[in-house]
Amino acid sequence: MKVLRNREVEVKNIRIGDQIVISLSEFGEFTATAQKITDKGTLFLFDDCVTRKPMNKKRTNKGGFEKSDLKKWIDNVLLPAFPDYLRNRIENLTIPTYGQIFGHDAFYNDVIEPDNDDQLPLMTKRKNRIADVENDYGWYWLQNATKKELSTDYFANVAYDGDADCGSVSTPRGVRPVFLLVTKYLPLVGGLFERGKNHEKT
C-alpha cells in the first residue's frame, strides 16, 4: 500500500517542508521546518516554542525587538544552546515577523509596525501557525511592536489558535525561533568540508 511516511533521508538540496531535529542543551529536543529557500541558505522555523519569556522586563516597546531583553536572551542564552555543527552555520537566530506568519493584512496595516517580509508559504495553513510550549497551549512573540499611537508597551504575537494578536511586553509568552541555515561553503579547489558532525559531501 502507498502511504506518506516521514523518514530520515540524506539530501543534497533541502525543500520547503523538510524538518531537522535540533537538540538544544538545557531546553530539550525540537523539530524545525524549512520554510524558505534563499540563495544563501534555508530559513528554518521551530515547530514549537522553546520556552516562555517576556519581551522586556520594563513595560515599554521602545527600541523594538532589536533593543529588547528577549533579543539579548536569544543571543546570549539560546544561540549557545545549539549544537556546534549547527551553530557554525546559523545566521540571524531570531523570532518571526508578522509578515512571515500572516502576511500584510488589515490588522497589520491598522496596528502593527511594518516589516518587509512575505508570508512563508506553509503559514497559510492555520495549524502551522500554532506552536505550543511543552505541549501546552500558548501565545508566541513576533518581532513587530504595535504602532506607537496605539500603545507604548505592546508587541504583536500569535494566539494559541494561530490567529494574530498583541499583548504587553512584560508578560511571558512563547519563543518560537527562526534562523537561516547557511548553505555549506564550496571550496574553489579541492575538498573542503564543513567542521563538525554529520558531514555531507556536497
Of 53-61, 130-138, 144-152, 164-172, which part binds a copy of itself (CB under 8 A)?
A: 130-138
Q: Residue 183 and residue 13: Cα distance in Å, rounded?
A: 10
Decide: is 25 part of the binding site for a copy of itself (CB under 8 A). Answer: no
Kindly state whether residue 116 participates in binding a copy of itself, applying the rule CB under 8 A.
no
Using the rule CB under 8 A, is 37 a contact of a copy of itself? no
Contacts of 133 (CB under 8 A, 6+ apart): 48, 49, 51, 52, 140, 174
**x/- letters, 134..153, toward a copy of itself (CB under 8 A):** -xxx----------------
Check residue 106 for interaction with a copy of itself (CB under 8 A): no
Which segment (103-111, 118-126, 166-174, 185-193) binds a copy of itself by CB under 8 A? 118-126
Cα separation of 181 and 135, whole Å?
26
- 20 counts as binding a copy of itself under rule CB under 8 A: yes
Confirm or reject binding of residue 186 to a copy of itself (CB under 8 A).
no
Three cell numbers, residue 37? 529557500
Indicate the residue among 19 and 168 with the shorter CB distance to a copy of itself: 19
Which residues within the stretch 151-170 sit at the binding site for a copy of itself (CB under 8 A)? 160-163
**Residue 128 grid cell:** 502551522
d(CA 71, CA 51): 14
Give the integer Cα–Cα distance in Å for 85 and 100: 26
Q: State the minimum distance, in angstroms, from the CB of residue 106 to a copy of itself.
A: 17
On whether the CB atoms of residues 56 and 172 are closer than 8 A, the answer is: no
The helix/strand/coil state of 112 is strand
Q: Which three cell numbers stand for residue 20?
A: 531537522
> In whole angstroms, what is the distance from residue 202 CA to residue 189 CA?
13
Q: Which is nearer to a copy of itself, 118 or 200 (CB)?
A: 200
Contacting residues toward a copy of itself, per CB under 8 A: 1-12, 14-15, 17-21, 31, 34, 124-127, 130, 132, 135-137, 160-163, 198, 200
